[in-house]
């Protein structure tokens, strides 16, 4: 990670030096709301947040005379305009971790008395009983929690779907991005600023309690020393590449190319994406998202997906396909560590309109056709035949899924015919409605959280090596991963998958960035944050770190179940399963996700 960080910093510097005058000349940014950002587009090393639309509650700031620094918890999005809601200053925190696990803590600084030039330093963590045993600080990631503009659920409280007139929704700043690139941040008087610390316990760590300090500084002065300890258990969480959880977050290299102002598939393009994709890799991301025709979702993101495969109709009427971009993208993702599968969208795009380069007229042309029609079968038959051949040559055929989402069953059936006619061994994935008629034919089936596979279907699918997952989208009010969603809700997913014996989770947008994702998470459609989990510059987020926590819980539960079963420890098994009972989507209205996950975490860390 370190050498990559340096490479990335060099890349950023090179970008900022492209103009002759040696100064940054990037155009000024503007958000979807039409708000000028006051700084260049594509702010990299550091940036200013948008002005806070919420008035400062002055009364809250009159209670204390001195600035406050305290540990908080990781389930709270602390408000910028309010002092930390911490009754008593907490200067010591204890975390529990398995070897190989990542655990996080959040501190918060409130500037009651005067502004602070905030920075902080984390020390190595030292074993309580053997000071030669350490968790080196190179394993500790940290950053400021930053504030991004968000909105809210639809007015009926039922979700976040549909076109959004930004003026109709409440705008607030919300704590979400975790900014490891900014090293010093001004905290104006009467505002708060959280910091995030994540320890990735090395697998070879000796069990025991490790303690270190976090020095909080105002300029050169240390204003507080927070104590941080991690109790490392004897159990081992495998490295992410060995996790079972099937995580499928759709990547969007087109958004990265636009945001970083790099040429698509250029070295610079891939270089910029490394840090963003690394979070997906570190969370055990399993699936590479590939687009095999233009605009599979008819442009539901700021940057629509183009085809990674070129479509050309020759003068003689035959088809020719080019796989150069596809290969580059897949190879990059595999080198990054996402190697399990390639999901290819889409034979049934949301608008049944297919673009190709027409050799006769040197222009793009469009065929409007649909599954069941001859033109459709001819075009896709040619494509899939060429694709199958290419994939086999690359050794990728068995990893590749022809993917569709949210289409009616009859359409799916007609499409499956065309796929199997081209190559009967093509795998198929589908994210959408519950269609028992095609359970058997879909190798990777993802249902909405609102629906469930029958138990026997789930078991049969598992026996046959078929993947069964669930997804959330704008349809769910909660749990969800909007920038205003309670952070525990993304952790809830992993626990829910474990409780339901499902294989994993899918979301349609990993980093389909809006215009200025660091500053304003709102988009022209969907509730804010729907289109991305992580932020530019390789910045993670509270939402994403909590998603990761849930996946770790899933893996830990698998290991504990296996252990308890093989040791016939029925009591522990019962205790474990009981703790999972709470992960029922019907409960979410009554018990906040944070309560449920805290309780369940206590249970599995008690073993």
Residues lying near a second copy in the complex (CB under 8 A) are found at 254, 263-265, 294, 306-311, 314-315, 317, 322, 324-325, 328, 355, 357-364
Q: Nearer Cβ to a second copy, position 292 or 588?
A: 292
Q: Are strands 92-99 and 28-30 parallel, antiparallel or unpaired?
A: unpaired
Shortest Cβ 326–a second copy spacing (Å) = 10
Shortest Cβ 512–a second copy spacing (Å) = 16
Pairwise CA distance, residues 241 & 266, whole Å: 27
Q: Which residues pair with residue 519 across a beta bridge?
A: none
Query: CA distances (Å), 378 to each of 58, 180, 270, 312, 459, in order?
Result: 69, 51, 35, 14, 37
DSSP tag of 283: T
Q: Are strands 310-313 and 208-218 parallel, antiparallel or unpaired?
A: unpaired
Angle at CA 62, nearest 5°, toward 58 and 63? 130
Shortest Cβ 265–a second copy spacing (Å) = 5
- Cβ neighbors of 122 (< 8 A, separation 6 or more) are 137, 140, 142, 197, 212, 213, 214, 215, 228
Q: Nearer Cβ to a second copy, position 255 or 499?
A: 255
Q: Nearer Cβ to a second copy, position 227 or 328?
A: 328
CA-based nearest residue to 256, from 604, 556, 537, 587: 537
Q: Nearer Cβ to a second copy, position 261 or 603?
A: 261
Q: Nearer Cβ to a second copy, position 310 or 603?
A: 310
Shortest Cβ 291–a second copy spacing (Å) = 9
Q: Nearer Cβ to a second copy, position 240 or 296?
A: 296
Angle at CA 205, nearest 5°, toward 200 and 209? 85
Query: CA distances (Å), 477 to each of 97, 237, 276, 474, 517, in order?
Result: 31, 32, 27, 7, 22
Q: Nearer Cβ to a second copy, position 145 or 333?
A: 333
Shortest Cβ 187–a second copy spacing (Å) = 43
Query: CA distances (Å), 1 to each of 4, 6, 41, 198, 345, in order?
Result: 5, 9, 26, 14, 31
CA-based nearest residue to 287, from 159, 435, 405: 405
Shortest Cβ 241–a second copy spacing (Å) = 29
Q: Nearer Cβ to a second copy, position 109 or 342?
A: 342
Shortest Cβ 264–a second copy spacing (Å) = 4
Shortest Cβ 362–a second copy spacing (Å) = 4
């Amino acid at each position: 990670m370190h050498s990559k960080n340096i490479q990335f910093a060099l890349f950023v510097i090179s970008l900022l030096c492209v103009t002759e005058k040696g100064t940054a000349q990037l155009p000024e940014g503007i958000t979807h709301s039409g708000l000028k950002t006051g700084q260049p587009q594509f702010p990299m090393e550091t940036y200013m947040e948008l002005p806070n639309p919420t008035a400062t509650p002055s009364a809250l700031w009159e209670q204390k005379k001195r600035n406050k620094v305290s540990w908080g918890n990781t389930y709270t999005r602390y408000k910028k305009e309010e002092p930390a809601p911490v009754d008593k200053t907490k200067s010591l925190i204890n975390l529990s971790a398995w070897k190989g696990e990542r655990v996080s803590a959040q501190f918060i600084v409130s500037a009651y008395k005067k502004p602070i030039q905030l920075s902080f330093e984390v020390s190595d963590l030292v074993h309580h009983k053997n000071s030669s045993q350490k968790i080196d600080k190179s394993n500790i990631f940290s950053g400021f929690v930053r504030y991004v503009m968000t909105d809210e659920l639809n007015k009926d409280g039922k979700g976040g779907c549909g076109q959004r007139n930004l003026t109709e929704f409440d705008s607030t700043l919300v704590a979400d991005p975790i900014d490891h690139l900014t090293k010093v941040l001004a905290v104006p008087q009467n505002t708060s600023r959280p910091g995030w610390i994540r320890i990735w316990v090395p697998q070879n760590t000796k069990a025991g309690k490790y303690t270190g300090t976090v020095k909080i500084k105002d300029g050169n002065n240390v204003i507080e020393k927070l104590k941080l300890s991690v109790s490392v258990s004897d159990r081992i969480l495998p490295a992410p590449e060995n996790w079972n959880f099937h995580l499928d977050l759709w990547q969007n290299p087109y958004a990265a190319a636009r945001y970083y102002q790099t040429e698509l598939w250029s070295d610079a393009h891939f270089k910029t994406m490394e840090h963003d994709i690394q979070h997906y890799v570190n969370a055990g991301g399993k699936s590479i998202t590939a687009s095999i025709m233009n605009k599979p979702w008819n442009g539901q993101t700021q940057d629509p997906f183009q085809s990674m495969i070129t479509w050309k109709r020759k003068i003689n009427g035959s088809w020719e396909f080019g796989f150069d971009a596809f290969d580059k993208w897949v190879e990059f993702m595999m080198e990054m560590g996402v190697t399990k599968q390639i999901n290819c969208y889409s034979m049934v795009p949301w608008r049944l309109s297919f673009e190709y380069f027409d050799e006769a007229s040197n222009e793009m042309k469009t065929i409007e056709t649909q599954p069941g029609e001859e033109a459709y079968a001819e075009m896709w038959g040619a494509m899939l035949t060429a694709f199958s051949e290419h994939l086999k040559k690359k050794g990728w055929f068995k990893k590749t899924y022809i993917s569709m989402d949210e289409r009616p069953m009859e359409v799916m059936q007609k499409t499956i015919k065309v796929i199997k006619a081209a190559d009967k061994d093509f795998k198929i994935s589908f994210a959408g409605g519950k269609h028992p008629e095609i359970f058997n034919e879909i190798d990777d089936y993802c249902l909405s959280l609102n629906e469930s596979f029958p138990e026997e279907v789930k078991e049969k699918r598992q026996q046959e090596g078929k993947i069964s997952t669930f997804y959330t989208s704008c349809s769910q009010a909660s749990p969800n991963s909007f920038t205003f969603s309670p952070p525990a809700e993304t952790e809830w997913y992993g626990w829910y998958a474990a409780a339901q014996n499902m294989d994993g989770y899918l979301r349609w947008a990993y980093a389909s960035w809006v215009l200025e994702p660091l500053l304003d998470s709102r988009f022209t459609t969907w509730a804010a944050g729907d289109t991305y989990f992580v932020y530019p510059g390789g910045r993670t987020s509270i939402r994403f770190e909590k998603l990761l926590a849930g996946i770790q819980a899933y893996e830990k539960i698998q290991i504990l179940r296996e252990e308890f079963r093989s040791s016939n420890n029925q009591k522990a098994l019962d205790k474990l399963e009981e703790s999972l009972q709470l992960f029922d989507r019907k409960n979410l209205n009554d018990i906040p996700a944070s309560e449920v996950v805290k309780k369940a975490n206590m249970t599995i860390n008690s073993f």
